[in-house]
Structure 1
Amino acid sequence: MIDLVNQINATHRALGTTPLSTGGAGRSLLLRRTYDAAVDDVWSACTDAARLARWLAPVSGDLRLGGKYQLEGNAGGEILVCAPPSRLRVTWSMGEGMATEVELRLAPSGDGTVLELEHSSPAEIVDEMVRQYGPGGTIGIGGGWDLALAGLFMHLTGADYDPVGWQDTAEAKAFAAGSCSAWGAVVQAAWGAGDDDVAAAVAFAQAHFG
């Protein structure tokens, strides 16, 4: 069992803008949290195929700069930047879906590590999706990353953790609900959405991603 409240509160969440590797403007979700593990250990957990399978998903491909990767049942793409042990940037696409980018940044903090994960999508596509469907998708994507970073925490602390099995548990669903609510507050602060719109978006995200 994990402390759900502590895990949700351990992460700083923000929405912003960032340039894409293609040169265009991007809309981004940013997650930041500190792990009680050395930078080299966190980097290894995030880049070693055997360790990734223990908290995220099995990964295949040519895992080097310029190589292609594929997470089982998840996204795939190209490795754009690989600067051990501090920075990793990849394209992130689900099948034929919208091409996005994910950047991982690590920095030492005392005996631990500050991890930043930024997921960026083309601004014009995100803006159009929000106009049509509201902020539910953004909340759901953020909640998915919260689940992943909670899995990384359990892996780094030596917990007995199955990334597939755990996400089907009542504990994981409660965590996802709390995460979506936390992202709802971020969306409301960033976009000035009304209470009813945010509540509907959180409910949508929980139904599709929880």
Structure 2
Amino acid sequence: MQIDVARILGLVTRSVTNFEKDGKPASAVTLTRLYDTSVDDLWDAVTSKERIPRWFAAVEGDLQLGGRYQVKGNAGGTITACTPPTHFAATWEFGGAISWIDVKLAAERQQARLTLEHTAIIEDHWNQFGPGAVGIGWDLALAGLERYVATGASVDHETAEAWMRSPEGKDFMTTSGEHWRAAHVASGVDPDEAKQRSDRTIAFYRGEMPPDIAHPGTGS
């Protein structure tokens, strides 16, 4: 499994926004990029219980408005908005924490643009790991989606896990983390603080932190 790390990550535009949600400080990470397919096909790829495992992970539950879902080995939650084929939103519940995802699709010339926003309340976990905690994971997911859309080939999860431990996989984690550090700084965060948080997150994703450290992607 080989990918052009710089090219894949360079196709994504990232931003971090700080605001208040329900009277509490919050932050949203946003990723947007184009795919060489139609909006209808991309919608089906990201919402179909049959197709999601081909690029992401197996998902169970009721994938319609108000339904509960569970991604295997990852988050679960409730679908809070659904307007096919352009928008859905859901809670993202993992490790006892709750955050929120919002996905929009739009046609752009002969391509489809996907915009994903992941919002979390700023708590100790965020202050430790920063936006890369969820950002690196979403970069991985969007890269998997591109490969699937381009080739139609389903991801082999054992191969993907081995790749993540490879030098190329670790380079992906590092480069993604650096992109998220830059977005964090652009949001107004002190550069030294942003670097400390991104260094922790990169080390975790590269497998270079103690196993008892909480997973950065809990979303809190």
Q: 2:196 — aligned with what? A: 200
Aligned length: 201
Change (3 A) 1:112 1:23: farther
Task: Report if the CA contact (8 A) 2:59-2:72 is conserved.
Answer: yes
Q: What CA distance in whole angstroms lies between the structure 1 residues aligned with 2:144 and 2:138?
A: 10
4+ runs of 1 displaced by more than 3 Å?
A: 17-20, 22-26, 127-131
Q: 1:10 — aligned with what? A: 11
Larger displacement relative to structure 2 (168-177 or 36-45): 168-177
Q: What CA distance in whole angstroms lies between the structure 1 residues aligned with 2:157 and 2:89?
A: 23
Say whether 1:101 aligns with 2:94: no
For 2:37, what is the secondary structure of its paired residue?
Answer: coil
Task: Report if the CA contact (8 A) 1:140-1:208 is conserved.
Answer: no
Q: 2:35 — aligned with what? A: 35
Structure with more of its chain in helix, by fraction: 1
Change (3 A) 1:164 1:13: farther
Task: Report if the CA contact (8 A) 1:52-1:59 is conserved.
Answer: yes
Calculate percent identity across the aligned residue pairs. Answer: 33
Q: What CA distance in whole angstroms lies between the structure 1 residues aligned with 2:152 and 2:172?
A: 17
Task: Report if the CA contact (8 A) 1:14-1:29 is conserved.
Answer: yes
Aligned CA RMSD, in angstroms, stands at 2.1
The structure 2 residue matched to 1:166, chosen from 160, 163, 167, is 160
TM, length-normalised to structure 1: 0.87
Q: What CA distance in whole angstroms lies between the structure 1 residues aligned with 2:34 and 2:83?
A: 20
Q: What CA distance in whole angstroms lies between the structure 2 residues aligned with 1:180 and 1:186?
A: 10
Question: Which structure 2 residues correspond to residues 1-210 of structure 1 after superposition, within 5 A?
Answer: 1-17=2-18, 26-95=26-95, 97-122=96-121, 126=122, 129-131=125-127, 133=128, 136-158=129-151, 160=153, 161-163=155-157, 165-169=159-163, 170=166, 171-195=168-192, 197-210=193-206
Q: 2:210 — aligned with what? A: none
Q: Return the offset for 1:137.
A: 3.7
Q: What CA distance in whole angstroms lies between the structure 1 residues aligned with 2:203 and 2:101?
A: 24
Q: What CA distance in whole angstroms lies between the structure 2 residues aligned with 1:116 and 1:167?
A: 26
TM, length-normalised to structure 2: 0.83
